[in-house]
Structure 1
């Protein structure tokens, strides 16, 4: 029972410390891909702590669970965990954590289903506005041009991803700006950023009282755009994608005094026009490896009594 409580305290510490540590400085804007990885590792550490606490509290409360969890372990290892001292609290804690796991799965399922419904409706609308020509195959990447007075471009994910551009956007995007927008949206599709957004939204909506999940969702929405901007800028230059962002968002109030849904666009443009130097490859590797070790900390804590018994 003590180990389960320790794991819960570790998860709570990670939930409190992660947003503060990851938001320090401008390193996330300089390396958004590494920041995306670090956020995922931090959230994985919180979830891992809760999952392991559920396993050990259940093993403390019920003999049948204990038998399955510690079936291959020597007798000395089982004694090292002192699973007999937990009382009824262990059962209640295990049940509560199990309900949390079920709720997390339900929220993720709901988020994926809602996204599927949205994509299906948008594809039906797209097919209605831009029907396939005779002999045209519905599969494969294709650029769809829609008649529209508002400059817009978006990527429609799925088994046959499509880039949709309005005629107003074509009139505004000059030179290689359309290619840069295409590269930006392809960056989203290749990195499967939609799944990151679904998972972060599911956790934030399912557990609104947990600040780390809300911060995770907000940062995912910001960092995926920065990562896609970098993907496009590496091929077509920072100025090209910055000008494309200006053309696409000029009429949406993104550059006015009142906050809008596109409030991050000016910051993205400033970042592209005034880029901070990237980290060295060695530093990026160290940050990636350090972040990967964070989810391993709950595992290490969970195995400490057993390792001591074996040692």
Structure 2
């Protein structure tokens, strides 16, 4: 029991502190943003599973009710293998901290979802106000694409159960047909990959635990990598140059080409599209994704090891 808890704490600390540093120093995430997103998710999953496993073991050792429910179908030899009756004195404090952390994580996720729902209601109400007045009997369009009369060039995705693409007439005047196709493909790439859920998760963890390096880096990198992934989706369909020009046309007035601009991500995206880095080989991508997928199994194996050996 004590060894399991120590191993789980060690795995959690390694995935929280050391793994993000190695990933941030690596150069391949720029070349493979989709694979990099998967690796970050697996790292976060490893930490959360380590904490959850330690919480369940600690609660089972301290509370007879939890122990009876967790080990109800297990034979007595399995229960004896965990040695739940002799636990170190710090188990109660660790279990209490993990329980508080789990409750706080759930609260942050709920708050993020509630706030996002509120923001979407405000945006949709704002769009209804900006929509042109139609003759009596005609409903305001609520399809997958909404065009707004506005000289300001802009395009964005309204996430939700039915994602809606919004584009202004100013953007339509600036963009060619191919560039418009690239913009729409970029936004649809966000919708198909459910990037909004990733952004909610990373934002909730970073807001709830701002001093945890993994969660802070996860939020920053998710925001950056989802844009690179959507750029790659658009460039595969419309070409790198067309996608870069579309990005410049939509953001030129924001100083996208200035190195001193606060929107450095836009500058980096344009440079990456104009000089695309070579992708990793299929074998390297598969090996990296497989290794990352196996990482969350480590806390599970540590937790189940006494029972399996028994």
Which bin holds the TM-score, normalised by the shorter protein? over 0.9
**1:234 aligned to which of 231, 236, 242:** 236
Partner of 1:144: 147
- Structure 2 gap ranges (5+): none
The answer for the alignment partner of 1:26 in structure 2 is 27
Name the residue aligned to 1:212.
Answer: 214
In structure 2, distance between residues paired with 1:143 and 1:170: 12
What is the deviation of 1:43? 0.2
TM-score if structure 1 supplies the norm length? 0.94
1:249-288, aligned counterparts within 5 Å? 249-260=251-262, 262-288=263-289
| Other-structure match for 2:171 | 169
Question: Take 2:259 and 2:40, find their aligned partners in 1: how far apart are those partners?
Answer: 31
Number of aligned residue pairs: give it: 307
Offset of residue 37 of structure 1: 0.7
Deviation, 1:183, is: 0.5
Are 1:11 and 1:46, in contact at CA under 8 Å, matched by a contact in 2?
A: yes
Q: CA RMSD in A?
A: 1.7
Structure 1 residues 127-142: aligned runs within 5 Å: 127-131=128-132, 133=134, 134-136=137-139, 138-142=141-145
Greater shift, 58-67 or 199-208, is seen at 58-67
| Distance in 1 between residues matched to 2:85 and 2:12, nearest whole Å | 24
Work out the CA distance in 2 between the residues paired with 1:65 and 1:132: 61
Between 1:105-114 and 1:267-276, the stretch displaced more is: 267-276
| Contact 2:20–2:214 under 8 Å retained in 1 | yes
Q: Tell me whether 156-165 or 77-86 shows the greater mean CA deviation.
A: 156-165
In the alignment, which of 159, 162, 166 is matched to residue 160 of structure 1? 162
In structure 2, C-alpha distance between the alignment counterparts of 1:20 and 1:126, rounded to whole Å:
42
- The offset of 1:247, in angstroms, is 1.1
Q: Deviations over 1:194-250 (max 9, x none)?
A: 110000000000001101000000000000000000111111001001001111111
CA distance in 2, matches of 1:259, 1:307: 57
Aligned to 2:111: 110
Q: Summarize deviations over 1:260-304 as a string: whole Å, max 9, x none.
A: 1x2111111111111122122222222111111011110011111
Paired with 1:166 and 1:138, the residues of 2 have a C-alpha distance of: 14
d(CA) in 2 for partners of 1:292, 1:239: 34
| Alignment deviations for residues 103-161 of structure 1 (CA, whole Å, 9 cap, x no partner) | 1010011111111111111111101111574545754312322313x321111112332
Gap runs ≥5 in structure 1: none
TM-score (norm 2): 0.94
